[in-house]
Chain A
Amino acid sequence: DIQMTQSPSSLSASVGDRVTITCRASQGIRNYLAWFQQKPGEAPKSLISATSSLQSGVPSKFSGSGSGTEFTLTISSLQPEDFATYYCQQYDSYPLTFGGGTKVEIK
């Protein structure tokens, strides 16, 4: 199975900050990497597919990059509605696997 490791597991940031989350795969997954956002008590929401393609309706402050085994999610200017937990997921091969999550909290 491909292991997905996110770092950090949590971070504190202020409104307006630029935030970067890293996701590492235990083996190469080409560009088959997705990002999801989950707020407390809600279902996850799809943000990015194929490493860098924004899902419909997702604001451009979110961006993704990387390839192979190392990927990043960047939020250019953190807003109150962005405080949430973020998960990466590989879909290069079965079983599909998620990272452990990164909780973004208010400083």
Chain B
Amino acid sequence: EVQLVESGGGLVQPGGSLRLSCAASGFTFSDHYMDWVRQAPGKGLEWVGRSTNKDNSYTTEYTASLKGRFSISRDHSKNSLYLEMNSLKTEDTAVYYCVRATPDRFYFYVMDVWGQGTTVTVSS
């Protein structure tokens, strides 16, 4: 069974840092792109960033407003994806989802499996 389990969320003060983890199982981790998507309380979905797969050298892409503060990485020995978040602001308060992406019928990568999410609260 394909499974994504996020952890690492919690309460952090403005200006602080946090690292989220996503443990992947049930599929070949290196074959897939992986995304982080967040959802502020009562709001819609916002793409945070992506790690491509082995064939694409695990390159990363980010939404422009977060680039420089947020960083995505992988640990292949642990089949895990990470989101390092620095200089956190109150507006970063959200549920953060880890999402797998798989090639569609046109071989473009599309999100297909979502984790349950982990909650980050930035507050003093």
Contacts and interface: CB of A to CB of B under 8 A. Distances in A.
Interface stretch (A20-28, A45-53, A69-77): A45-53
A50 B47 contact: no
A98 B45 contact: yes
Contact of A49 (B62, B63, B110): B110
B112 A55 contact: yes
Nearest to A4: B44
Given A43-B117, A50-B104, A36 B109 contact: no
Given A97-B47, A98-B44, A43 B116 contact: yes
Contact of A46 (B47, B62, B113): B113
Interface residues of B, number: 25
**Interface-central residue, B46, B106, B110, B117, by most chain A CB under 10 Å:** B110
Contacts of A32: 104, 106, 108, 110
23 contacts: A31-B106, A32-B104, A32-B106, A36-B111, A43-B97, A44-B45, A44-B97, A44-B114, A45-B114, A46-B112, A46-B113, A50-B104, A50-B106, A50-B108, A87-B45, A89-B45, A95-B61, A95-B63, A96-B35, A98-B44, A98-B45, A98-B47, A101-B44
What 5 A-B pairs are tightest by C-beta distance, nearest first?
A: A50-B104, A96-B47, A49-B110, A49-B104, A43-B114
Interface of B: 35, 37, 44-47, 50, 61-64, 97, 104-106, 108-117
Given A34-B110, A43-B117, 12 more contacts: A43-B114, A43-B116, A45-B114, A49-B104, A87-B44, A89-B47, A91-B109, A91-B110, A95-B61, A96-B50, A99-B44, A100-B44
